[in-house]
C-alpha cells in the first residue's frame, strides 16, 4: 500500500512557518503595549513603527534559529513535524541566511531609528531564547520554561525602552506578569502533548513529574498570576478599569486551572491553553485602555 505524503509548501511559506508568526504576533503586541504605556502622551510614531518592525525581525530570527537547533526533536513530534527544518526541505544555510538577514536588519533598524538600548536588550533576548533556553535549558531540566521564560517575557520592556530610552520599574512589572503567566500557559500545552514530548526526549514537567504534579503547579501559578496582575493598581500604574479586568480574567483563569486539577481531560487542557493566550491579550489591552481612559493620562 502506498503512503500519501503532504505536498511541500513553497519556500516563502516554509520561511514564514519557521518564524512562528502567531507567537511572534503576541510578543510584538506586548511590546507595542509597552510603547504606549511608556509615555503619558502619544509616543513618537516613528519610534513605534521602527521599534515594532525591529523587534519583530529579531523575534522571527530567534524562532528560526530555534527551529534549526531543534530540527531532530521537531521531526519526532506531531505538532512540529511539518516544519521545513524537520522535513529536511529547507537547508541549514537557508535558515541561517534568513535569521542573519532578519536579525541584522532588525538590529540596524533599532540602533539607527530607535536607540541602542532597545537594540541591545532585544539582542540579549534573542540570545536568551535561541541559545540559553533552546540549547541549554530545554533539553536538560523540567524547569526550562520557568527559567527560560524570562526571554519570552521581555517584549514590554523592549517596547518601553524604544519610546523612553529607559526601563523603569513599571516596565519590569509587565515583564513579571508575563514571566508568571508563561509556565501555566505552556504546561497546559505540554499536558495534552506529553506523549509528543516524551517521544522527543524532552524533559517537560508532565513527562518527568507526571500529570497530577503538573496540574497542581498550573493551579498554584494561576493564583500567583492573579496576585501579580493586580500589582499595577496599588503602585499607581493603573486605575479601577484595569483592576476589575485583572480580577475577572484571573478568576476565569483560576476556574480553568481548578477544573483541570480536579478532573483532567485533553479538551479542558486545550481550552486552558487557548484561553491563556486570549487572557494575556485582554489583560494588556485593559491596561492600555485604563492608561488612556481612566488613569487621567
What's the mean pLDDT when you consider all of the chain? 90
CA distance 244 to 187: 26
What tens-digit pLDDT sequence spans the chain (297 residues)?
333 345 566 888 888 888 889 889 999 999 999 999 999 888 999 999 999 999 999 999 999 998 888 888 888 888 788 888 888 888 999 999 999 999 999 999 999 999 999 999 999 999 988 888 888 888 888 888 888 888 889 999 999 999 999 999 999 999 999 999 999 999 999 999 988 888 888 888 999 999 999 999 999 999 999 999 999 999 989 999 999 999 999 999 999 999 999 999 999 999 999 999 999 999 999 999 998 876 454
First to last CA, the chain: 68
Q: Where are the domains of the chain?
A: 11-166, 168-297
DSSP symbol at 4:
P
Instruction: Confirm if 74 and 80 have CB atoms less than 8 A apart.
Output: yes
Which one is the CATH code of 11-166: 1.10.357.140, 3.40.50.2300, 3.40.640.10, 1.20.120.1780?
1.10.357.140
Distance CA 224, CA 292 (A): 27
Between CA 230 and CA 48 the distance in angstroms is 27
Amino acid at each position: 500500500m502506498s503512503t500519501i505524503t503532504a505536498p511541500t509548501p513553497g519556500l516563502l511559506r516554509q520561511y514564514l512557518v519557521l518564524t512562528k508568526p502567531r507567537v511572534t504576533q503576541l510578543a510584538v503586541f506586548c511590546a507595542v503595549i509597552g510603547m504606549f504605556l511608556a509615555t503619558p502622551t502619544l509616543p513618537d510614531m516613528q519610534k513605534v513603527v521602527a521599534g515594532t518592525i525591529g523587534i519583530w525581525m529579531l523575534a522571527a530570527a530567534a524562532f528560526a534559529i530555534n527551529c534549526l537547533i531543534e530540527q531532530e526533536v521537531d521531526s519526532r513530534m506531531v505538532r512540529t513535524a511539518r516544519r521545513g527544518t524537520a522535513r529536511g526541505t529547507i537547508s541549514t544555510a537557508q535558515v541561517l541566511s534568513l535569521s542573519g538577514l532578519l536579525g541584522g536588519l532588525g538590529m540596524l533598524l533599532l540602533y539607527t531609528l530607535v536607540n541602542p538600548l532597545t537594540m541591545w536588550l532585544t539582542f540579549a533576548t534573542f540570545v536568551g531564547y535561541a541559545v540559553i533556553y533552546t540549547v541549554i535549558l530545554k533539553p536538560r531540566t523540567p524547569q526550562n520554561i520557568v527559567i527560560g521564560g524570562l526571554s519570552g517575557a521581555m517584549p514590554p520592556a523592549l517596547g518601553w525602552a524604544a519610546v523612553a530610552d529607559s526601563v523603569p520599574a513599571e516596565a519590569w512589572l509587565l515583564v513579571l506578569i508575563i514571566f508568571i503567566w508563561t509556565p501555566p500557559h505552556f504546561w497546559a500545552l505540554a499536558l495534552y502533548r506529553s506523549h509528543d514530548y516524551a517521544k522527543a526526549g524532552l524533559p517537560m514537567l508532565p513527562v518527568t513529574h507526571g500529570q497530577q504534579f503538573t496540574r497542581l503547579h498550573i493551579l498554584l501559578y494561576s493564583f500567583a498570576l492573579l496576585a501579580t496582575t493586580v500589582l499595577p493598581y496599588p503602585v499607581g500604574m493603573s486605575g479601577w478599569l484595569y483592576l476589575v479586568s485583572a480580577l475577572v480574567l484571573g478568576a476565569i483563569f483560576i476556574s480553568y486551572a481548578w477544573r483541570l486539577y480536579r478532573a483532567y481531560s485533553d479538551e479542558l487542557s486545550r481550552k486552558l491553553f487557548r484561553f491563556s493566550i486570549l487572557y494575556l491579550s485582554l489583560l494588556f489591552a485593559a491596561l492600555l485602555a485604563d492608561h488612556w481612559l481612566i488613569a487621567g493620562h
